[in-house]
Amino acid sequence: MWYWLFKYILLGPLLSLLGRPKVEGLEHIPPSGAVILASNHLAVMDSFYLPLVVRRRITFLAKSEYFTGTGLKGRLTRWFYTVVGQVPIDRTDADAAQAALDTAKRLLEEGKLLGMYPEGTRSPDGRLYKGKTGLARLALETGIPVIPVAMIGTDVVNPPGTKMLRFGRVTVRFGKPMDFSRFDGLGGNRFIERAVIDEVMYELMGLSGQEYVDIYAASIKDGSQQAPVDHEVDRISEQAAG
């Protein structure tokens, strides 16, 4: 009940006013049955605008930190993420990754619409980063189709690093379902899984118009790798300086 109250009464009207969402390709979402929604990830608001424009309820796999806070704030945060369809997963090690995969399988067996962010975390600079293979393994082991989803403009409504909301224009663009049945029986093969997730990321790049970076976003955030230079930004800066 709370999910629909937030969507249509408590949060939905405000988000619609702020982002004026435009939706493309919504006909690709089936009226029933399990589907994996593979989305790029620009801002926290991705997890709000995507459910806002889809008639069916979407369940997301969310980092467990959202559910482990203490005190009144922690309890309220845990309650909110639970009622809006978020399921906690631990991302700390291989055992946790398998547990997350098992949780995702269970949700798909229940016929749910499962939202996933193959980059694993929000983009640090608006570009599209290398996808993790968990989504590919899930698609291969279940045979469930993958629908790529491009979120555009959510980082304007909700700038990264802030809790502020601003006026902008959000576009949610759905691609055609991707069928990987040609790889039946090859789940667990890391080369096939990499090929599948790279195919998904290629579709997301086309839908979103983002520049693709072939390293993991998490490695940029933890400082283990340095983001490659955005030459387009440099070129524009040089022109402005000249």
Listed in sequence order, the residues at least 6 apart from 18 whose beta carbon sits closer than 8 Å to its beta carbon are: 157, 165, 166, 167, 168
Q: Which residue from 44, 96, 94 is spatially nearest to 66, judged by alpha carbons?
A: 44
Q: What is the pLDDT of residue 14?
A: 95
Query: How far are the Cα atoms of 2, 55, 60, 104, 231 from residue 117, in angstroms, in the given order?
Result: 24, 20, 9, 13, 26
Angstrom distance (rounded) from CA 27 to CA 104: 24
In a domain, 147, yes or no: yes
Q: What is the pLDDT of residue 68?
A: 75
In a domain, 105, yes or no: no
Q: What is the pLDDT of residue 92?
A: 64
Residue with token string 């524009």:
236
Domain count, the chain: 1
Flag the least confident range among 91-100, 194-203, 231-240. Answer: 231-240
Q: What is the pLDDT of residue 94?
A: 62
Given a contact cutoff of 8 angstroms between Cβ atoms, the answer to whether 139 and 36 are in contact is yes
Given a contact cutoff of 8 angstroms between Cβ atoms, the answer to whether 168 and 18 are in contact is yes
Domain, as residue range, for 195? 16-57+111-220
In a domain, 53, yes or no: yes
Given a contact cutoff of 8 angstroms between Cβ atoms, the answer to whether 183 and 196 are in contact is yes
| Average pLDDT over the chain, rounded to an integer | 88
Q: Facing residues of 108 across strands?
A: none
pLDDT, tens digit, 9 for 90 and up, residues 109-132: 999 999 999 998 999 999 999 999
Q: Which residue from 34, 80, 29 is spatially nearest to 53, judged by alpha carbons?
A: 29
In a domain, 241, yes or no: no
Alpha helices (runs of H) in the chain, residue ranges in sequence order: 2-5, 12-19, 46-53, 71-83, 94-109, 134-142, 154-157, 190-208, 217-221, 231-241
In a domain, 238, yes or no: no
Angstrom distance (rounded) from CA 21 to CA 210: 19
Q: Helix or strand or coil: residue 153?
A: coil
In a domain, 91, yes or no: no
Mean pLDDT (whole number) for 166-178: 98
Q: What is the pLDDT of residue 75?
A: 84
Mean pLDDT (whole number) for 149-164: 93
Q: What is the pLDDT of residue 241?
A: 39
In a domain, 149, yes or no: yes
In a domain, 151, yes or no: yes
Flag the least confident range among 42-46, 66-70, 159-163, 198-202. Answer: 66-70
Mean pLDDT (whole number) for 89-112: 80
Residue by residue, DSSP assigns 37-92 as EEE---STTHHHHHHHH-SS-EEEEEEGGGG---HHHHHHHHHHHHHTTEEEE--S
